[in-house]
Amino acid sequence: EAGVTQSPTHLIKTRGQQVTLRCSPISGHTSVYWYQQALGLGLQFLLWYDEGEERNRGNFPPRFSGRQFPNYSSELNVNALELEDSALYLCASSLAWNYGYTFGSGTRLTVV
Amino acid sequence: AQTVTQSQPEMSVQEAETVTLSCTYDTSESDYYLFWYKQPPSRQMILVIRQEAYKQQNATENRFSVNFQKAAKSFSLKISDSQLGDAAMYFCAYRSAQETSGSRLTFGEGTQLTVNP
């Protein structure tokens, strides 16, 4: 069984640009979660999608957004990139909100 | 809001020895879940062990066990017979049992574990 896959693995963007990160959950998992792991700040919850809807959102500005597609894959979009957006972005999936997570290996975003 | 604190940024242990990683948390909820995750250099977060707050018995997974003290809001991880492959960053995490907030994990700052041969 394929795990949670994220693409790309690494990305370098310029301040002010926009970026899209992608996540494919484990087959059968309907919930997708996004976390930001910035150096020195630990893992911070970004977004939770379930059945195509945004269910919960962390304390991030509106320029962080995303969506979930009918096949349960998900995109995370970040507009107007800032230097402090440089981080590892982790995606996780689960069967439902109260089931355990499985994490992907993340996308390393560097903003210069 | 819940908070999770790991007071040991770094720990080291000799191969085959035992090490304990500390975690404390703050919550007003009575029902919740606690987790230990491991993040090796590959970056993928791997679940090590899980504890339901309503269970008094401490969870055990092979060489990994926890000491869950609900009243003290303490959740430490014991790794027995440490192996080189245990070297990683370890994160303690909290999750509410309520649906609206239970979807998210609140993580501690992490403890970097080094295993010396």
Instruction: Name the DSSP letter for residue A84.
Output: G
Banded model confidence at residue B43, pLDDT cuts 50, 70, 90 = confident
Cβ neighbours of residue B96 closer than 8 Å, sequence gap 6 or more: B2, B27, B29, B31, B32, B102, B104
Its sign, for the CA torsion A84, A85, A89, A94, is positive
Flag if B45 and A90 touch (Cβ within 8 Å): yes
Instruction: Going from the first residue of chain A to its last (112 residues), give the mean pLDDT of each consecutive group of 10, the final group possibly shorter.
Output: 91 98 95 92 90 92 97 97 97 84 94 98
Instruction: Map residue B84 onto helix, strand or coil.
Output: helix
Mean pLDDT of B29-39: 93
Flag if A101 and B110 touch (Cβ within 8 Å): no
Instruction: Calculate ∠ Cα A50-A32-B86, nearest 5°.
Output: 145
For residue B59, pLDDT beyond 80:
yes
The residue type of A5 is T
* Closest residue on chain B to A107 (Cα): B43
Averaged pLDDT score across all residues of chain A: 93
How close, in Å, is residue B112 to chain A by CA atoms? 12
- Would an 8 Å CB–CB cutoff place A79 in contact with chain B? no
Banded model confidence at residue B13, pLDDT cuts 50, 70, 90 = very high
How close, in Å, is residue A103 to chain B by CA atoms? 6
Instruction: Calculate ∠ Cα A42-A47-A50, nearest 5°.
Output: 135
Report pLDDT for B100: 67
How many whole angstroms separate alpha carbon B45 and alpha carbon A88?
12
